[in-house]
Amino acid sequence: MPQLNPAPWLAVLIFSWLVLLVVIPPKVLAYTFPNNPEPKATKFSKKLTWAWPWP
């Protein structure tokens, strides 16, 4: 059975882990967000109570 021969599958496994651990993390870490989140105003407005349509 060819699946029991580890030579080609071991190379594929090592190459795929090499790609996952060496190539992808710098690309993910270099990502910059187009819109930087800014904190909202610190002044809190008074919360209005909900006026239910039925009494």
Give, as one character, the DSSP assignment of residue 4. G
**Residue ranges per structural domain of the chain:** 1-35
Higher pLDDT, 55 or 53: 53
- Identify the band that residue 16 occupies on the pLDDT scale cut at 50, 70 and 90: very high
- 1 has pLDDT over 60: no
pTM: 0.42
Please check the confidence at residue 43 and state whether its pLDDT lies above 70: no
Residue keyed to tokens 């919360």: 47
Q: Is the dihedral of CA 6, 11, 15, 18 positive or negative?
A: positive
Residues 6+ apart with CB under 8 A from 3: 9
d(CA 51, CA 55) in angstroms, rounded, equals: 9
Per-residue pLDDT, 3: 64
H helices present in 1-55, as ranges: 6-18, 24-29
